[in-house]
Structure 1
C-alpha cells in the first residue's frame, strides 16, 4: 500500500487534513519530534499536511534520522488524490473528511478539536471508533494512539450503506428510531 518513488522504493504516506478550519493544535502535534519518530519507526516515509486556515507552519526538517519527507500546503481544490495515495490518514473530525477516507478504505485516525463548542463531530468520531471503523484521538493523545495503533483491528466501513450513519444522526437529532 503506497506509491513508488523514483528509485523504485515504496513510499508510505501519512496525509494529515484539517479541512477548511484552523486546527493548529493538530498540526503542532504531528510536527512534534515524538510523532515524527513513531511514524518513521512504523515504516512511514512521507508526511503531507494540509493546513487549512491555520497560522502554524510545521518544520520541513525530517526528524532524527532524516528519512521522513515532510511537506505541507494550505488548500487544494480536492483532497481526493492525497487520500488515495495515503497509507494512513490523520484527519480533523469533519464528517466529509471522515466518510471520504472510510469509503476509500484507508486507515484513519480522527483527531477531535476540543476547542470547538457544541462539538457534534466528536460524537460521530467516537461512535465510529467504538464500532472500530477508525481510531479517535485528541491532539494531546495522538502520540500514544500512534504508539498503540493496530491497523489490523480496524473494521472496514460498509460501502454505500448509509444506515449506520442515519441511525447515528437520528439518535443525535433526538428523533425516534425505527
Structure 2
C-alpha cells in the first residue's frame, strides 16, 4: 500500500475514534453482542424460535429508551444513520444522552444491531417448527462448543440447514468478535 494510502487510512481511523456517533455504534454492538452471548449460552433454555428471531435474527426488532419505544436504526440505507439522527432530533436527544442511557441499562435493545438478514425469520422455508427449533439449537450448541475454533464453528453452522454464509459468520462475530468477521455476497 503506498504511503499516501496508509496515511489516509490512519487519518480515517483517527477521525473514526474521535466521532461520538461512531463510538456509540461500536458500544451498542459490543453491549448487544455480550447480551446475546449470555442469552444463547444455554441453547436448551431458549424458549422458542420466535424469541431467537426477535432477539438475534433481526437487525433491530425493538428499541426502548427509558421504557419508551424509539427507532434507533443505527444502520439504514448504505450504513447511513439518517433514521437515528431523525429520531434524535424528534426526541431532542444528543449522542451523549444515548451513550449514557446505554451504559445505565436504560436503552433496551432487541435484535442483534450488528448484521442484517434477507428474511425476518430463521429458516422460513422449513415448515416443521420442531425441526426449525432443533436446527437452531444445534447451531447454538456448536457456537458454545469450546473445543472448536471460531472458524470451525462457523463452518459447521454454515453447513447446517437453515443457515448460510451471512448468518453463520454473523453469529460467529457475536460469539467470537475478535476472531471472525462477516462473510456474504456484499463483502
TM class, shorter-chain normalised?
Answer: under 0.3
Computing the radius of gyration from Cα coordinates, the structure with the larger value is 2
Which is richer in strand? 1
Which is richer in helix? 2
Scaled by the length of structure 2, what TM-score is found?
Answer: 0.26
